[in-house]
Structure 1
Amino acid sequence: MKNVEWKQRAEAGALLSIGVYLLLAACKLLAGSLAGSDGVKADGWNNLSDVIASVAVYIGMKIAQKPRDRNHPYGHSRAENISSLLAAFLMMSIGIDVVISGAGALLHGGKADAPDWPAAAVALASAAVMFLIYTVNTRLARRTNSTALAAVAKDNLSDALVSVGAAIGIIGAQLEWLWLDPLAALIIGAIICKTAWEVFMETAHTLTDGFDEKRLAVYREEIAAVEGVRDVADIKARTLGNDIVLEVTIRVDSRLTVAKGHEIADEVERLMKKRHNIRSTHVHVEPEARVDRQG
């Protein structure tokens, strides 16, 4: 299947998450209020924060597909990163609010009455739905190499586990552990804050051109093994949206012709594209003898 078609499916996956999150958030906030469950209401707020994140990812995907122009010679790929950063701040604000509410309920000794059983059923049904969405989005993320959609998929799995936790809180409250439901709300709020912090740190690392040293070491080793490459003098990489841009300086025999040096550079580019799906590899060729004399 063509890459463009999979990109469209990735967008559909983001839209699916938005629709499901909106439905679940409405159901949980309503069920939590009617059943008197702080845990389920907190889970509903969690899903509402996920709507924000998914909308940001979808908008970022659309902007990132715009072709490069005079003001954006590298394209618009980092739009996904900007939208993720905004989503992290919004998620953190919701998480802090949920934590404060849960802590307040705990300090007052929990609720006087246990939440009703239907709230637990809503939480468990939500967990099943979110696990299904996680499976779909994980598959799409792998097909499209979309880091943004992969992050959404991880959040889907986290939400499934959070819903299970909310159900456990209700069951515990029914067993007269009335403090367990607000405790579940407090933990859910903490999970929202943790997820927001992780999204922020990962996005900030990307926007400041951070890159995994272990992956760079793999690239260096493979390029050094290409026939005609005497040494890899320098290598660095950055992430632009879902794409990796690699810059490498190789040393070759100074007696080679310009055409032969160009062939070796082309082989390096093909290798990185084939093995790691790197969109762009910029190869600078230096003569080995000249570098040695300067050293």
Structure 2
Amino acid sequence: MGERWNGDGTHLHGRIPGHGHDHHHTPDRPEIPGHDPRDHHHPPGGTAPGTETPTADRRTEHRHAPHAEPHAAPHHRHRHNGRGLRHRLAHLLRPHSHDAADRVDAAMESSAEGLRTLWVSLLVLGATAAAQAVIAALSGSVALLGDTVHNVADALTAVPLGVAFLLGRRAANRSYTYGYGRAEDLAGVAVVLAVAASSLVAGWTAVQRLLDPEPVGHLWAVAAAALAGCAGNEWVARYRIATGRRIGSAALVADGLHARTDGLTSLAVLLGAGGSALGWRYADPVVGLLITVAILGVLRGTVREVGRRLMDAVDPALLDAAERELAAVDGVRGVGAVRMRWIGHALRAEADVVVDRTLTVVAGHQVAEAAERALIRAVPRLLAATVHIDHAPAETV
């Protein structure tokens, strides 16, 4: 079977017998806060999905109940909002637009919360780094200087991420048909470069001080600055990680883990100050080198994660969950290829399913909708799914 669809997800009627059915749908997503679902098109009420499919030929015995929703009204497009009184009020007060450029999905709306988190963390880390820089200049502590440089680099990663979140809120167009979510991946490259630069500066300074050691003054001030750096980074880490998990931003979660590592390096500065207080003249530059190694460890993990995003890698467990849910949909006889990719902090999926060759157009459409809803339920942060339906081949005697 084959169906044609407009760019905004509405169905173009007129079928070509014998071809597959591509159906695109972005139903309500209660898992993503603030989600503004996409318009979608429903056929009139008809045969429940799978009612014409011989159960003996199904690939999977266990099936969920049909998920088709009856509609008494003729063809129409409408918008769904999340559950609860607040969502219903927002639905009533928000202007209803059917222009694709005016639609804002959950990934775009969650970017506002991501931006707020970035700017707050930028202020906190900026204030912490400024205090550390003053004490590092007065005390001559290379370890504290390296920690300060790293904290500054960590604070500045908010800038490319903020730009990426702003771009991600722009609507898709004919040039960028999937939107601007990939800007978040480019921001990840900028984060990698910032971490690499901070490791070079910290390492170079530590080597110079190791070759020409100098006494460290104001040890109590250095210790206090190290504790302040640890506290500031840990607070920012928790804030970023919590927000990143809530809105589904892997980049923000990774940046939070980066801040947590910075907090641990601040504790290393405290150890360097203790070694200097005990009279070991090389304590400060040695700790500075240890901080450089820690930064390189963070860099390695960041490069791996950013590289996976750029190569469209996903957790195989997500595919397993999607395939199980698709196989359990009433009317699905088999599951073909399932593909997923991250675009910004939201997932998109494509799936091929096989249905009985005697299924009608309406029944096949309903099976596709049920399959899409199953995918949305099974996969966290899945924003949209495209299901392609193939008829089972004729059985040969």
Same fold (TM over 0.5): yes
Asked whether the 8 Å contact 2:128–2:232 carries over to 1, the reply is no
> Structure 2: how far apart are the matches of 1:55 and 1:175?
41
Q: Which residue of 2 aligns with 1:145?
A: 248
Q: Tell me the percent identity.
A: 25
Q: By how many angstroms is 1:96 displaced?
A: 1.5
Instruction: Decide whether aligned partners of structure 1 residues 218 and 180 sit closer, same or farther in structure 2, where only a CA change above 3 A counts.
Output: farther
| Larger Rg over CA atoms | 2
Q: Which residue of 2 aligns with 1:214?
A: 317
Deviations 1:225-261 (A, max 9, x none): 2222222111111111111111111111112112212
2:340 equivalent among 237, 248, 256: 237
Please give the TM-score of this superposition, normalised by the length of structure 1. Answer: 0.91
Tell me the secondary structure at the aligned position of residue 279 of structure 1: strand
Asked whether the 8 Å contact 1:127–1:159 carries over to 2, the reply is yes
> Structure 2: how far apart are the matches of 1:66 and 1:49?
27
> Structure 2: how far apart are the matches of 1:244 and 1:274?
13
Letter in 2 for 1:249: D
Asked whether the 8 Å contact 2:188–2:306 carries over to 1, the reply is yes
> Structure 2: how far apart are the matches of 1:241 and 1:130?
25
Asked whether the 8 Å contact 2:128–2:228 carries over to 1, the reply is no
Aligned pairs for 1:6-25 (under 5 A) are: 6-25=110-129
Tell me the secondary structure at the aligned position of residue 332 of structure 2: coil
Q: By how many angstroms is 1:114 displaced?
A: 5.9
Deviations 1:33-92 (A, max 9, x none): 211211111010001111221111111111111101121011000011112212211320
> Structure 2: how far apart are the matches of 1:198 and 1:236?
25
Q: By how many angstroms is 1:13 displaced?
A: 0.6
Q: By how many angstroms is 1:270 displaced?
A: 1.2
> Structure 2: how far apart are the matches of 1:128 and 1:51?
15
Q: Which residue of 2 aligns with 1:72?
A: 176
Deviations 1:137-171 (A, max 9, x none): 22212221122221221122112111111111111
Tell me the secondary structure at the aligned position of residue 387 of structure 2: strand
Instruction: Decide whether aligned partners of structure 1 residues 53 and 77 sit closer, same or farther in structure 2, where only a CA change above 3 A counts.
Output: same
Q: Which residue of 2 aligns with 1:156?
A: 259
Q: Which residue of 2 aligns with 1:103?
A: 207
Instruction: Check if 1:283 corresponds to 2:387.
Output: yes
- Compare 269-278 and 244-253 and name the one that shifted more: 269-278
Asked whether the 8 Å contact 1:130–1:159 carries over to 2, the reply is yes
> Structure 1: how far apart are the matches of 2:262 and 2:216?
26
Deviations 1:191-247 (A, max 9, x none): 223323322322222122222223222221222222222221111111111111111
Instruction: Check if 1:84 corresponds to 2:188.
Output: yes
**Whose RCO is larger (CA < 8 A, sep 6+)?**
2
Instruction: Check if 1:2 corresponds to 2:37.
Output: no
Asked whether the 8 Å contact 1:36–1:116 carries over to 2, the reply is no
Instruction: Decide whether aligned partners of structure 1 residues 247 and 84 sit closer, same or farther in structure 2, where only a CA change above 3 A counts.
Output: same
Q: Is the helix fraction higher in 1 or 2?
A: 1
Aligned pairs for 1:223-234 (under 5 A) are: 223-234=326-337
Q: By how many angstroms is 1:129 displaced?
A: 2.2
Tell me the secondary structure at the aligned position of residue 168 of structure 1: helix
Could you list the runs of 5+ residues in structure 2 that have no partner in the other structure?
1-32, 36-105
1:189 equivalent among 267, 292, 309: 292
Please give the TM-score of this superposition, normalised by the length of structure 2. Answer: 0.69
Count of residues paired in the alignment = 291
> Structure 1: how far apart are the matches of 2:202 and 2:163?
26
Letter in 1 for 2:145: K
Tell me the secondary structure at the aligned position of residue 351 of structure 2: strand
Could you list the runs of 5+ residues in structure 1 that have no partner in the other structure?
none
> Structure 2: how far apart are the matches of 1:225 and 1:106?
65
Asked whether the 8 Å contact 1:37–1:115 carries over to 2, the reply is no
- Compare 56-65 and 87-96 and name the one that shifted more: 87-96
Asked whether the 8 Å contact 1:114–1:176 carries over to 2, the reply is no
Q: Which residue of 2 aligns with 1:269?
A: 372
RMSD between superposed Cα atoms in Å: 2.0
Asked whether the 8 Å contact 1:106–1:182 carries over to 2, the reply is yes
Asked whether the 8 Å contact 1:114–1:178 carries over to 2, the reply is no
Aligned pairs for 1:44-63 (under 5 A) are: 44-63=148-167
1:172 equivalent among 275, 291, 300: 275
Q: By how many angstroms is 1:136 displaced?
A: 2.1
Deviations 1:101-143 (A, max 9, x none): 21332344x4344662211111112211222222222221222
> Structure 1: how far apart are the matches of 2:214 and 2:359?
80
Letter in 1 for 2:265: V
Tell me the secondary structure at the aligned position of residue 282 of structure 1: strand
Q: By how many angstroms is 1:31 displaced?
A: 0.8
Asked whether the 8 Å contact 1:98–1:186 carries over to 2, the reply is yes
